[in-house]
């Protein structure tokens, strides 16, 4: 199409040129009609020659294009043939693989059938062997299994007992060493006097004649004192002394101070007694506040509720096993603060909880329940932190300890109460505690002898070796320890040691 367009364009150009030449010749009269005719014929011949040349060029171009197209088609045919051969090879390869897989599947089927046959034969053989073993051993399968499991359990329990002893020994050694370091550091930093206060409510008299004046005519003076103070006055044969008896130590202190004032003044009659008792009660209340503030100051605890301050002051008049509870609270707070500093715990919370851990004892005669729970409830009402409340409630394990500060308070309480000279108990209480310890231990099966030693701080149990094995000895020591914790009240801790001894005896004849 492109050479034809070119030819038509050339011819058109020639015709237009000839026409222009004729017009120009006519216009200027330069040529005749014959000259114009010859010129036009010449132009036509030239145009035909040019057209012929163009046609030849177009034919050559068409031939070249056809050859190019034929070459491209040949190349495409060769590529298609190559792809066809490749596909044919892939098809043959897939056919061979499929045939191989079919052969393999048939082989696997044969092997599976052979294995199934072999498995049935093995099961039959095992069944025959099991029947033969049961016949020889005289045991059924269930009995043999139970026997094997029992043996395995026995061996496992022995291994477990050995492992428990080893782990406990290692843990105890590491823990004891670290605990000694921390406790010794805390105790060395605590410089406190070893005091053993006893509230003995005895009022000394200048003479035995004063007893009559205290009793009064018809006993009116002593009745007035008892009614005003709420205590019992015991006037006996003790020379130059009378005894004040009351379950409330604050009332007992009010009565003691009032009697001392009345004796010093000499004027003893019901009206005077009532006035002096009222003045003394106000004085004791002021003393309680001062003691509470002093305890908080010495322990380094600030911002306590006024009710807590008052209860702390009341501890000045309370004792436990002869140990003054006011001094005990301050000492426990100091120890707890140092232990918390050593362990990286909250020092302020530990000191607060330790200082307040026994405030329940100040009201325990008025409210039913353990003093730890009573004190925790009072601390909660006064806005103390929940960690402090939990530490107070759990220092005797009435509640579960939920913080390291709670454990620190328990340890500080035990250290303060267990140090030499801190507490004492009567011979009767001591004998009862020792007897109760031995009776608790004797109440367990397999126990042969029980000895309470070291002033009741350790109980040693000798068991029958044929009834108690190694693992049972470990379990027995824990059970006895739990029973002692539940059934006895005691300061510090009690060590429970179970001794199992196996003896082999023979005779040479």
User: Which of 212, 272, 204 shows the shortest CA–CA distance to 244?
Assistant: 204
Does 35 fall in a domain?
A: yes
What pLDDT is recorded for position 424?
A: 53
Residues 371 and 445 reside in one and the same domain:
no
pLDDT of the residue at 195: 40
- Statement: residue 143 has pLDDT above 70: yes
Residue found under tokens 């034969």: 121
> For residue 279, is it within any domain?
yes
Note whether 13 and 79 are same-domain residues.
yes
439 to each of 296, 429, 447, 491, how far by Cα in Å? 43, 15, 11, 19
Q: What is the pLDDT of residues 188-199, one digit of tens each?
A: 445 444 443 344
Q: Quick count: other Cβ atoms within 10 Å of Cβ 364?
A: 18
Helix (H, G, I), strand (E, B) or coil at 233: strand
**Average pLDDT for residues 303-323, to the nearest whole number?**
83
Tens digits of per-residue pLDDT, 183-227?
A: 655 554 454 444 433 444 778 888 878 888 888 888 888 888 888
385 and 434 share one domain: no
| Domain CATH number, residue 390 | 1.10.3210
- Residues 349-397 pLDDT 10s: 999 999 999 888 887 555 677 888 888 999 999 999 999 999 999 988 8
Query: In the structure, what pLDDT confidence band is assigned to residue 28 with cuts at 50, 70 and 90?
Result: very low
Note the pLDDT tens digit of each residue in 392-438: 999 888 888 899 999 999 888 888 876 655 555 555 666 777 888 88
Tell me: do 382 and 445 sit in the same domain. no
Residue 191 resides in a domain = no
Q: Which region holds residue 219: left if phi is over 0, alpha if psi is between -120 and 50, else beta?
A: left
Tell me, yes or no, whether 235 and 327 share the same domain.
yes
Tens of pLDDT, residue by residue over 113-135, are 999 999 889 988 888 887 777 77
- Whether residues 411 and 431 share a domain: the answer is no
Average pLDDT, the chain: 80
Same domain, 396 and 252: yes
Q: Are residue 6 and residue 82 in the same domain, yes or no?
A: yes
> Which residue range(s) make up the domain with 61?
2-131
Query: Band of the pLDDT at 44, cuts 50, 70, 90?
Result: confident
Whether pLDDT at 7 is above 60: no
Tens of pLDDT, residues 152-195 = 777 777 777 777 777 777 776 776 666 656 665 555 445 444 44
Do 279 and 409 lie in a common domain? yes
Burial of 125 (0-12, 13-18, 19+ CB in 10 A): exposed
Tell me which DSSP letter residue 359 carries. Answer: G
337-340: Cβ within 8 A, 24+ apart: 337/299, 337/300, 338/185, 338/186, 338/189, 338/190, 339/182, 339/183, 339/186, 339/408, 339/411, 339/412, 340/405, 340/408
Which pLDDT score, from 0 to 100, does residue 293 have?
92
- Looking at residue 88, its pLDDT comes to 92
Q: Are residues 73 and 92 in the same domain?
A: yes
Calculate the CA 114 to chain-centre distance.
58
Q: Out of 21-25, 63-67, 141-145, pick the least confident.
A: 21-25
Find the radius of gyration of the CA atoms of the chain.
Answer: 58
Report the number of distinct structural domains present in the chain: 3
Specify whether 390 is located in the same domain as 266: yes
CA 119 distance to own-chain centroid: 53
333: how many CB neighbours lie within 10 A of its CB?
27
Instruction: Look at residues 203, 209, 263 and name the one whose alpha carbon lies nearest to residue 231.
Output: 203
Last residue of a domain, one of 114, 131, 148: 131
| pTM recorded for the entire structure | 0.48
Residues 217 and 274 in one domain: yes
Assigned domain for 225 exists: yes
Q: Is residue 139 part of a domain?
A: no
């Amino acid at each position: 199409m492109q050479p034809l367009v070119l030819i038509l364009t050339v011819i058109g150009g020639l015709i237009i040129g000839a026409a222009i030449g004729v017009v120009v010749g006519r216009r200027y009269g330069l040529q005749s009609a014959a000259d114009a005719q010859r010129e036009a014929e010449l132009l036509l011949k030239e145009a035909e020659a040019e057209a012929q040349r163009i046609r030849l060029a177009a034919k050559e171009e068409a031939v070249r294009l056809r050859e190019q197209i034929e070459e491209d088609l040949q190349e495409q045919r060769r590529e298609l043939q190559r792809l066809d051969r490749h596909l044919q090879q892939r098809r043959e390869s897939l056919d061979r693989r499929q045939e191989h897989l079919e052969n393999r599947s048939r082989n696997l089927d044969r092997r599976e059938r052979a294995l199934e046959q072999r498995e049935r034969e093995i099961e039959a053989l095992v069944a025959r062997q099991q029947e033969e073993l049961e016949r020889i051993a005289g045991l059924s399968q269930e009995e043999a299994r139970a026997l094997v499991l029992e043996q395995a359990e026995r061996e496992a329990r022995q291994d477990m007992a050995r492992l428990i002893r080893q782990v406990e020994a290692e843990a105890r050694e590491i823990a004891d060493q670290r605990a000694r370091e921390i406790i010794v550091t805390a105790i060395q930093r605590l410089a406190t006097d070893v005091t053993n206060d006893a509230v003995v409510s005895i009022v000394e008299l200048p003479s035995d004649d004063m007893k009559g004046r205290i009793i009064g005519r018809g006993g009116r003076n002593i009745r007035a004192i008892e009614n005003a103070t709420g205590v019992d006055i015991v006037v006996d044969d003790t020379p130059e002394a009378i005894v004040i008896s009351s379950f409330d130590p604050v009332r007992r202190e009010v009565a003691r101070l009032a009697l001392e004032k009345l004796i010093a003044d000499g004027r003893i009659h019901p009206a005077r007694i009532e006035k002096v008792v009222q003045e003394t009660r106000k004085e004791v209340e002021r003393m309680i506040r001062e003691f509470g503030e002093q305890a908080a100051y010495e322990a380094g605890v600030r911002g306590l509720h006024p009710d807590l301050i008052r209860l702390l002051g009341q501890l000045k008049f309370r004792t436990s096993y002869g140990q003054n509870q006011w001094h005990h609270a301050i000492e426990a707070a100091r120890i707890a603060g140092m232990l918390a500093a050593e362990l990286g715990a909250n020092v302020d919370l530990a000191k607060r909880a330790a200082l307040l851990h026994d405030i329940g004892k100040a009201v325990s005669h008025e409210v039913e329940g353990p003093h730890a729970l009573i004190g925790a409830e009072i601390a909660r009402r006064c806005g103390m932190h929940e960690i402090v409340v939990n530490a107070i409630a759990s220092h005797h394990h009435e509640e579960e300890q939920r913080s390291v500060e709670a454990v620190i308070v328990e340890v500080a309480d035990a250290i303060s109460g267990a140090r030499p000279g801190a507490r004492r108990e009567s011979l009767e209480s001591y004998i009862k505690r020792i007897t109760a310890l031995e009776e608790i231990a004797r109440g367990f099966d397999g126990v042969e002898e029980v000895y309470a030693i070291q002033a009741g701080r350790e109980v040693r149990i000798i068991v029958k070796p044929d009834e108690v094995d190694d693992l049972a000895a470990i379990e027995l020591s824990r059970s006895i320890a739990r029973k002692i914790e539940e059934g006895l009240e005691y300061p510090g801790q009690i060590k429970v040691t179970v001794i199992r001894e196996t003896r082999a005896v023979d005779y040479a004849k």
